[in-house]
Amino acid sequence: MNGVEMLAKQQPILVNDLYIDPVGYQVKLGQREIELTVKEFEILCLFAQNKGKVVRRTELVPFISALGIVDEERAINVMICRLRKKIESDPHHPKRLVSVRGLGYRLRE
């Protein structure tokens, strides 16, 4: 079962004003719908399922390696940057998807 099939069995997740519907493949920030790639969506769901907890960079590797990318570290950085551009009001000073130095990232509740 791939990541999308697993997500299809889950209930919508609400993290503050960020609404994620795995079945409807829909993300809303307030009333505004956010368009994500499949991998961005899967990674955001992982963060939402673990809201308030640290998601280690190593947990993100399977999402990136499935794309056949060699430089996984750089690919994770790019993916996080893209997600922040879509869900943060100021991606350079994130308030939702924050870095936890030396470990990974946390989606704040």
**What confidence score (pLDDT) does residue 71 get?**
77
> Is CATH 1.10.10.10 the right assignment for the domain spanning 3-107?
yes
Q: Where are the domains of the chain?
A: 3-107
Please answer whether residues 107 and 99 qualify as being in contact, where contact means their C-beta atoms are separated by less than 8 angstroms: no
pLDDT reading at 45 higher than 50: yes
**Mean pLDDT, residues 82-108 taken together:** 95
Confidence bin at 1 (pLDDT 50/70/90): very low
pLDDT reading at 10 higher than 70: yes
User: Which token pair is 32?
Assistant: 């505004």
**Mean pLDDT, residues 1-6 taken together:** 50
**Mean pLDDT, residues 22-41 taken together:** 93
Please answer whether residues 15 and 69 qualify as being in contact, where contact means their C-beta atoms are separated by less than 8 angstroms: no
Find the angle CA(16)-CA(37)-CA(6) to the nearest 5 degrees: 75
User: Which token pair is 66?
Assistant: 């499935």
User: Which token pair is 88?
Assistant: 């943060």
Confidence bin at 67 (pLDDT 50/70/90): low
**What confidence score (pLDDT) does residue 66 get?**
65
Please answer whether residues 98 and 105 qualify as being in contact, where contact means their C-beta atoms are separated by less than 8 angstroms: yes
pLDDT reading at 70 higher than 80: no
pTM for the full predicted model = 0.84
H or E stretch covering 77: helix 72-87
